[in-house]
Amino acid sequence: MSAEHVVSVRLYVVVWVTLLIFTGLTTGVAYIDLGVFNTVVALAIAVAKMLLVVLFFMHVKYTTGIPRVVMVAAIFWLAIMMSITLADELTRGWTPVAHAWGSGTLLPILPHLLR
Amino acid sequence: MAEMAQPSHGHDAHVPELVHQFETVEQQREAGTLGMWLFLATEILFFGGMFCSYLVYRSLHPHAFEIGSHLLEVKFGATNTAVLICSSLTMAMAIRSAQTGKSKRTIITYLVITILLGLTFIGVKLYFEWYHDYLEHIVPGFGFQYHADWGSSGPMVQMFMVFYFILTGIHALHMVIGVGILTVMIIMAARGRFSSHYFAPLDISGLYWHFVDIIWIFLFPLLYLIGGRYATGGH
């Protein structure tokens, strides 16, 4: 039978050390003022760490087919949920409806749109 | 029914763990892996819903979230991140030991170290973090007290702490479940159930354990490192 790919101990240790270095790095960077890039760097390091765990510890580098599709689909659904939620949340102020509501006009939004 | 032909089990019929609906042990293992990834997809969206609401509140109240984040101690968050990364290594090594046909003593040793690291994580969370948060009156619902210097941000600082306790609480619950799963794996290993031909339960438990590690890899910067620590110098 074709057994699952055996990852070498050396590679596991390299991944482990890299993850520990990244943890130190993300903690250290928090003490340096980078403005908004503090968050960007922290998230970039988190994504890099996630990829290391997923590819090597979870053997996705050696897994093919449907499990990979499921994983990518999960990330895609997550992206849909977050982007649609934010598309709503960040654009609520754009629509001048709420204060005109109940004014008796049939289409309270119209005067604002035509202004 | 007697005239029906016996279903073929292929060339892996001698492996006792092969159940009848699969042709080969390999096919059985892949089906199990797929099932676990499907479960993890639901978990990604379960945690994703909380991350999403966190994102909305943080974008609306960045200053309050920064104050809240600075109530947490980076040293414990960073230590626990390292502890979980170490436990992921020993988990991977436990699976590798079964894969390469090592003795059950080796497999059990790696699993016990993994559990001990998991319990260390939970211990640090419970005692050094949550218990001290309670003493400092920053646990929502348990005598939460606003600080004067928070100003009007007070309620949203409390909201940050709600996110903190729900996210880390549900993550810690996953850790406890993981410790339970690994305990079952130790019992299975002690009964000699794993070999280089059959280690699927171990493999699948590993996927769960690593997933819980990944959630923490995101929780650490999102909860502990908001807005950096340079202004206050941290704790």
Residues B15-66 have pLDDT tens digits of: 778 888 898 888 888 899 999 999 999 999 999 999 999 999 999 999 999 9
B74: left (phi over 0), alpha (psi -120 to 50) or beta: alpha
Per DSSP, the residues of B63-90 read HHHHHHHTTS-HHHHHHHHHHHHHHHHH
Between positions 36 and 95 of A, the ones with CB within 8 A of B are 38-39, 42-43, 45-46, 49-50, 53-54, 56-58, 63, 65-67, 70-71, 73-75, 77-78, 81-82, 85-86, 89-90
B126/B133 Cα distance (integer angstroms): 10
pLDDT for residue B1: 41
User: CB distance A86–B59 less than 8 Å?
Assistant: yes
Interval B73-114: pLDDT, tens: 999 999 999 999 999 999 999 999 999 999 999 999 999 999
Q: How many residues are there in chain B?
A: 235
Does the pLDDT of residue B67 top 90, yes or no?
yes
Residues of chain B contacting residue A85, judged by C-beta atoms under 8 Å apart: 52, 55-56
pLDDT for residue B233: 43
Cα-based distances in Å from A25 to A42, A45, B31, B87, B119: 9, 8, 38, 20, 25
% of chain A beyond a pLDDT of 70: 78
Closest by CA to B89, choosing from A13, A11, A22, is: A13
Average pLDDT over residues B139-156: 92
Instruction: Name residues whose C-beta falls within 8 Å of residue A11's C-beta, 6 or more positions apart in sequence.
Output: A56
pLDDT for residue B119: 98
Mean pLDDT estimate for chain B: 91
Residue to substitute from B225, B230, B232, B235, interface A, most A β-carbons within 10 A: B225
Angle subtended at Cα B9 by Cα B7 and Cα B11, rounded to the nearest 5 degrees? 145
Does the pLDDT of residue B197 top 90, yes or no?
no
Cite the beta strand spans of B138-222 per DSSP E: none
Give the model's confidence band at B227: pLDDT under 50 very low, under 70 low, under 90 confident, else very high. confident
CA distance A47 to chain B (A): 8
Interface pTM, i.e. ipTM: 0.88
pLDDT for residue B232: 53
User: CB distance A70–B86 less than 8 Å?
Assistant: no
Three-state DSSP state, B220 = helix
% of chain B beyond a pLDDT of 90: 79
Asked whether B225 and B65 are in contact (CB, 8 A), the reply is: no
Residue to substitute from B45, B85, B226, interface A, most A β-carbons within 10 A: B85
% of chain B beyond a pLDDT of 70: 92
CA distance A105 to chain B (A): 32
User: CB distance B218–A54 less than 8 Å?
Assistant: no
Interval B149-167: pLDDT, tens: 999 999 999 999 999 999 9
Closest by CA to A45, choosing from B75, B213, B219, B221, is: B221
**DSSP category for residue B227:** T
